[in-house]
Amino acid sequence: MAGDGRRLWFGYRLTWALSGVVCAEAEQVGVEPGDGYRFMVLGDGDEDPAVVVGRLRAKVRREVARVYLEPSDAAPGWHVADLDVAGRVVWSGDSSVPEPSVVIDGRRFDWAAFGAMVAVFEGWEFSMRFSDGSGEDTGAGVGGSVDATDGDAKVIPLRLVGGLDDDGLRRQGRSIDTVLAEFLAEQRQRLAVSTYRRYGRIVELLRMCLNNYCYQSLTGAEAERWRSAYDAGDEEAFTRLCGPQQIVENYGEFLGYFMIRKVAASQEELRAAATVTKRLARWLARHGYVDEDAADAAHGRATEAGRDLPRADKLGEYLYRLARQTHLPVDPDDFADENWVEDYLSITRVEDGRLWFGEVGPVAVSKQASDLAEVGWDVYVVLARVGGNWRLVETGMVYP
C-alpha cells in the first residue's frame, strides 16, 4: 500500500553475474512502460537469494510509503508536499524532445510539469543528488517501519551475464531503454543540436528494430518474460526488459536488414547509422555494459556497414536505372523458363561492366555499377535472356 492509499503490485527479478554479484529488482506492474516505481539492490553471489529479495522488498515498502507530491487545490495538477522531492529521471519517449521526464511517486511528469511544481520555490536554494538506485536507502522523505517478510514475491531468473569488470557489474540490472537514454544524455553535452537530433533519430530507429524484430533471438526465461509482457500489451517490452548485451548482438539485424528494407534509408542515413552504432558500441564497453570482445565485434560490424551500406545503396540506384531501360520484345509470360529468372541471388562474379548473379550471367552493367559491386552481396533481380544475352528487368534493394 502506497503512502497516498494506492494499492500497488510489483514484479521481482534477479540477475546473476559470473563474478558473484547479484542484482535484485522490483518493478511496478500494470503501468505504462517507463512509468511506475522501480527499485534495485545489490548482493553478494553467495548470499541467500531470499535474503536479497527480502532487503529489496523492505526498500520497496519503505519508499512507496513516502509521498512527495500532493494534488493541487488551486489548479489541476500536483505540487511538492513538503520541502523534499525524490524520483527517477527517464527518457521523454520522443526523440524530438531533448528534455527528460521524471517519475515521482510512481507518476510520470514531463520537464515542463516538473518545472511548474518547483516554480513556487523561486528564490529558494536547492541541492540535487543523483545515484544509480542500487542503495538500500534512496529517499529523502519520511517513512514508516517495514516488515520485509510481508507479502509474496515471484523471483524470475534472467540470463547469466559475465565478462565485465567490478565497476561494470553493478550495472547489470539496466534495461536497453535506460542505457540508450544515458548514451543520448551524454552525447547531448558534446554534440551540436543538429548532430544530436541525428543521433536521436538513429537511436529511435534502433529501438524500433529491437522491439519489432529482435525478440526472435531470446531464449529460455528471457523469451518467456518478453512474451508475457508483449501479450499483455507492452509492445516495447524488448527494450524495457532486456539488457544492453542485446543491443550489440543485434547490430546485424539493424544495419543489414532493418535500415535497408524497413526504413529504406538514404545514403546519408546509412552513414549516420554506422557512425552512431560505432560510437555506441565503444560507449557501452567503456561504461561496463558489454565486454570488450562484444564491443569490438559490434564496432567492426558498424565499420563495415559504414563502408558497404552507402555503396550498396548506390549500386541499387544504378541497377534500377538500368532495369528501367530494358524493353522486352515479348510479354514476360511468353518467355521460356530457362530464359527467365526471378529470385534473391548473390553476386558471384564481378568484371568491368559485367556482373553474375548466382549462376546467371554475365549481365551488362555500367562500369560505375561494377566498380561498386562486391562478391557475396545479395539482391532481388528479375533477369531475361534476350538474343542470347541476359538483361536486367527488375531489381530490389542490395544487401551487403
Mean pLDDT over all residues of the chain?
79
Please name each of the domains of the chain with its CATH number.
69-121 (no CATH), 174-312 (no CATH), 326-399 (2.40.50)
Among the residue ranges 4-13, 27-36, 156-165, the one predicted with the least confidence is 156-165
User: 19 pLDDT exceeds 70?
Assistant: no
3-state secondary structure of 58: helix
**What pLDDT digit, counting tens, does each position of 334-350 carry?**
788 888 888 888 899 99
User: 160 pLDDT exceeds 70?
Assistant: no
Do 274 and 311 contact (CB within 8 A), yes or no?
no
Amino acid identity of residue 173, one-letter, is G
Name which of 68, 2, 64, 5 is nearest 38 in CA terms. 64
Averaged over 123-131, what is the pLDDT?
Answer: 78
At 210 the pLDDT is: 92
Report the C-alpha dihedral over residues 67, 72, 78, 82, rounded to 10 degrees: -40
Averaged over 102-116, what is the pLDDT?
Answer: 90
User: 306 pLDDT exceeds 80?
Assistant: no
**What pLDDT digit, counting tens, does each position of 26-72 carry?**
888 888 767 889 888 887 767 787 888 888 888 888 888 888 888 87
At 30 the pLDDT is: 82
At 97 the pLDDT is: 78
* CA–CA distance, 121 with 51 (Å, rounded to integer): 42
User: 79 pLDDT exceeds 80?
Assistant: yes
User: CB burial class (10 A; 0-12, 13-18, 19+) of residue 116?
Assistant: middle
CB proximity list for 181: less than 8 A, separation 6 or greater: 90, 91, 100
User: 18 pLDDT exceeds 60?
Assistant: no
Name which of 156, 145, 170 is nearest 58 in CA terms. 145
CA distances to 59, 200, 238, 272, 306 from 286, in Å: 30, 20, 23, 21, 22
CB proximity list for 35: less than 8 A, separation 6 or greater: 28, 103, 106, 107, 108
**What pLDDT digit, counting tens, does each position of 245-294 carry?**
899 988 888 887 788 777 766 777 878 888 899 889 989 988 888 888 88
What is the helix (H) or strand (E) element at residue 295, kind and residue range?
helix 292-324
At 137, the pLDDT band (50, 70, 90 cuts) reads low
